Structure 1
Amino acid sequence: MPRTAAAAAPPPLLLLSAAAAIAIAVAVAAPDGHLVASLPGFHGAFPSKHYSGYVTVDEGSGRRLFYYLVTSERDAAADPVVLWLNGGPGCSSLDGFVYENGPFNFERGSDTGGLPNLELNPYSWSKVSNVVYLDSPAGVGMSYSLNKSDYTTGDLKTAADAHTFLLKWFELYPEFQSNPFYMSGESFAGIYIPTLADEVGYLIGNGATDQDYDFNSFVPFAHGMGLISTELFEDASTACHGTFWGKVNSLCQEKIDRVHWELKDLNKYNILAPCYHHPEIQELEFKNSSLPSSFRKLGETEKRFPVRKRMAGRSWPLRAPVTRGRMTMWPELGGRSLPCTSDELANAWLDDEDVRAAIHAEPKSLIGSWELYTARIDYYHDTGDSMVKYHKKFTAMGYRALIYRELDTLSRSTSPRRRLRSIATGCPGRRFDIKINSS
């Protein structure tokens, strides 16, 4: 996976052939000790093979990263290998496995507090790819270290550990060395992935990138989606002179606060979805008369809904800037719980000792309870305030990029257009197509 190999043979769509990128000796096939034979809550045969377990990235400190591999249902031998990283920092990538693009839909069981029922997800990414969910860095999800000082970390150390993980992972699974390889993720993975992509190659969705682009796009996005009136948008634009974050004047701040007030009762992870919430959560108070009462009640019903309707992946909080230095972790920002989210099913399933045994994860007695977003780590953003320089570098190397966003207000959905234009100005001769899908 040396950089010289990446520069010599830039692949399409920001992916590297694992064979061209990883110079390692051929080993045995996928390890039997990592095979997942069955899972509590699922009845029947898996449509493809599942593997999970640990890869030690530092023998001296006992630093181990947990992964879950779902092989492709179509053609595992030829389909791409896709590394999936959730953001945070501090969010487990099993978030993606349970709530987003994993092989199962998790449904509430018949017993309150019991294990959920698992049903096959017809839209799983494993329909067409081999997906590797990686808990990173150590201290997140099921990943851990025997040396607690490892829980003070940052962008560069996280990228180095992920790089080591990939090298060792492909040693465990040499049959995938010739497959196309993608790196993908969301939210703060917009920081994780470019730093790791400096070693490999990447794909990002809903990624945090640059404060100027990310934070300035929220008000235009809210207006473009019809969430605020044209009058409020024009008033805010005039008062703020087109700059909606940072040091703004008092009138500008008043207009920005009004925009946030108008949107406060919406599901910030998917503006077209109702705000499902646990009945015990008191932080969410519905005071906006424009919100339909039917939306207010949906979180209180026991009606069976697909879990992906209940919670989307964690995006970086809208009003929390991504700046150089120590990052404020999700629990510090959101407290005990967050509106429109529920981790109940994932917590119940991943803290069950039978489930942990099935997926070869360490018991709670060693690594503690599973947390979707953790405050266990002390994370430092040490690669600078903007990731645009990385995107420009990769584009100059000849990679094609797919950058997408849609209905998530927390990850500023209009900023990719401005970012692409910024990258394009530094890469003359390169083609950039910007398509807006309003469906």
Structure 2
Amino acid sequence: MAMLNLMLFLMSISVFMALHFYPLEAALVRSLPGFKGTFPSKHYSGYVTLEGNPPKNLFYYFVVSEKNPVRDPVVLWLNGGPGCSSFDGFVYEHGPFNFEAAKQRGGLPVLHLNPYSWSKVAGIIYLDSPIGVGFSYSVNTSYYVNGDLQTAAETHLFLLKWFEKFPEFIANPFYIAGESYAGIYIPTVASDVVKGIKAGVKPIINFKGYMVGNGVCDSDYDGNSLVPFAHGMGLISDHMFKEAEVLCKGNYRNSINVDCQKILTKIDRVLDDLNRYDILEPCFHSGELKDVANGNMSFLPESFKQLGSTERPLAVRKRMFGRAWPFRAPVEDGIIPLWPQLMRKVTVPCLDDVQATIWLNNDAVRKAIHANPESGNWSLCVDLRYTHDAGSMLSYHKNLSSSGYRVLIYSGDHDMCVPFTGTQAWTQSLGYQIVDEWRPWRSNGQVAGFIQEYANNFTFLTVKGAGHTVPEYKPRESFDFFSRWLNGQRI
């Protein structure tokens, strides 16, 4: 009898190992082309499959925390678009590596460890969402019709299945973070997660809060932010600003007043040649681009080739093609025009994402990260049919923050795409009591921006001199506020 019990015990251990460890071994990323050395922590990547006929396959890349994986938070990172891959954040913002352009034509980028990787203090899940974005795919491309509410529901299902796959992290504090159109993704996903927790849906996610960077939120606040921002930054004259104030009466997004429309058109022309994602950065115009890394354009997606042979891609980090919200806030209800559609009518301003495109379409890289061939060629942003159907996020933020979840809303203060002026206005509109009045915060001994803290653990923060994708422009400062906020420290 004792021998039988021992055999049953050993069999149960074997089954447990098969269920919990072997799938993780299959997802383990053992090396990456372009990087020489040892990873500071374990990396996993692959697919979580959502049931259906046919199923939907959501791709993730998970970087385990380099500090204390048992206790450190786990953070889901979402880039925006809608329709843009979260490898944008991995390659260009806060991933474990910095990417250096290849010194030889046709070579792969060289990867170096990023001293300001967010994985130094948290485990980061980079998710390609919704279906059809990045490496996420289905054999039924009719699934590539999405909206806010559907995307939120599927991301929640992904999280439940992901924690089943990685049960050792279910007790860790869990946060959701992202930027730009993820200003819609995050509150809607968080709301579904909270509903699941209240309903007792297993596994119970240890959700603690979320952070949004330069995120769209509300069409009125976002849409009325550009003109005051441009005036405050010295981009338009007092005369133009006062004329717009009088003619538009504070409504700069959908006024039917002909004279208001004329002054707004004049303002648009004045601002047209600026880099709308960071007014401090140069804007590279048609015929002026120089490909300092590669002279060959054959690796580029069709959307790049349509720009013309004179428009060459730039070096690493001088890119923004397919930037998270494609042209300018606000986001209106209904079907959203994405970059591949906009490019038929407008010139893509100042933009390029060459290194990620080279690296992620390399066969060896795709094999190393377990990206299925069925997912097709990777591109930063894809042409989806996507509907903004969740409306304003103000009620979502109010409900979540008043329910005890921590919230950090941050803005690069030189972004003209989703200006901080609108974000500051809507955060104030929630009506929370100020518990820490507007003050500077510091990084490396220098003022890095300004912060205002409200009741209900709700914080608004600016990053001085940063553009739309804050960690790309200010990696050290971003790491500092990210790590302090996660640890509950005063920023």
- Residue from 315, 335, 338 that aligns with 1:329: 338
2:457 and 2:112 mapped to 1: Cα distance?
42
1:432 and 1:143 mapped to 2: Cα distance?
33
Partner of 1:234: 242
Shift of 1:225: 2.1
1:264 and 1:31 mapped to 2: Cα distance?
49
- Residue from 416, 420, 423 that aligns with 1:409: 416
| CA RMSD in angstroms, aligned pairs only | 2.9
8 Å CA contact 1:220–1:414 kept in 2: the answer is yes
| Residues 103 and 61 of structure 1: CA distance in aligned 2, closer, same or farther (over 3 Å) | same
| Residues 116 and 277 of structure 1: CA distance in aligned 2, closer, same or farther (over 3 Å) | farther
Shift of 1:116: 1.3
Amino acid of the structure 2 residue aligned with 1:28: H
8 Å CA contact 1:84–1:185 kept in 2: the answer is yes
Partner of 1:134: 127
Partner of 1:370: 378
Say whether 1:80 aligns with 2:88.
Answer: no
| Residues 431 and 174 of structure 1: CA distance in aligned 2, closer, same or farther (over 3 Å) | closer
Partner of 2:60: 67
| Residues 63 and 429 of structure 1: CA distance in aligned 2, closer, same or farther (over 3 Å) | closer
Partner of 2:323: 314
2:158 and 2:398 mapped to 1: Cα distance?
26
Shift of 1:347: 1.1
Query: What TM-score comes out, normalization by structure 1 length?
Result: 0.82
Deviations 1:200-234 (A, max 9, x none): 35321111111100010111111222222333222
Amino acid of the structure 2 residue aligned with 1:399: Y
Query: Equivalent residue of 1:51, what SS?
Result: strand
Query: What TM-score comes out, normalization by structure 2 length?
Result: 0.74
8 Å CA contact 2:74–2:174 kept in 1: the answer is yes
Say whether 1:261 aligns with 2:269.
Answer: yes
Partner of 1:293: none
8 Å CA contact 1:311–1:342 kept in 2: the answer is yes
Shift of 1:235: 2.3
Partner of 2:395: 389
Identify the structure with bigger relative contact order (alpha carbons < 8 Å, sequence gap 6+): 1
Amino acid of the structure 2 residue aligned with 1:215: G
- Residue from 136, 146, 155 that aligns with 1:153: 146
Shift of 1:181: 0.8
Query: Equivalent residue of 1:402, what SS?
Result: strand
Partner of 2:405: 399
Say whether 1:247 aligns with 2:255.
Answer: yes
Identity %: 53
2:211 and 2:325 mapped to 1: Cα distance?
18
2:267 and 2:251 mapped to 1: Cα distance?
14
Query: Equivalent residue of 1:275, what SS?
Result: coil
8 Å CA contact 2:97–2:111 kept in 1: the answer is yes
Unmatched runs of 5 consecutive residues or more in structure 1: 1-24, 283-298
8 Å CA contact 1:269–1:312 kept in 2: the answer is no
- Residue from 78, 84, 93 that aligns with 2:86: 93
Q: 1:105-116 residue pairs with structure 2 within 5 A?
A: 105-116=98-109
| Residues 425 and 387 of structure 1: CA distance in aligned 2, closer, same or farther (over 3 Å) | same
Shift of 1:114: 2.7
Say whether 1:54 aligns with 2:42.
Answer: no
Partner of 2:198: none
- Residue from 340, 344, 348 that aligns with 2:358: 348
| Residues 433 and 157 of structure 1: CA distance in aligned 2, closer, same or farther (over 3 Å) | closer
| Residues 123 and 263 of structure 1: CA distance in aligned 2, closer, same or farther (over 3 Å) | farther
8 Å CA contact 1:218–1:413 kept in 2: the answer is no
8 Å CA contact 1:105–1:308 kept in 2: the answer is no
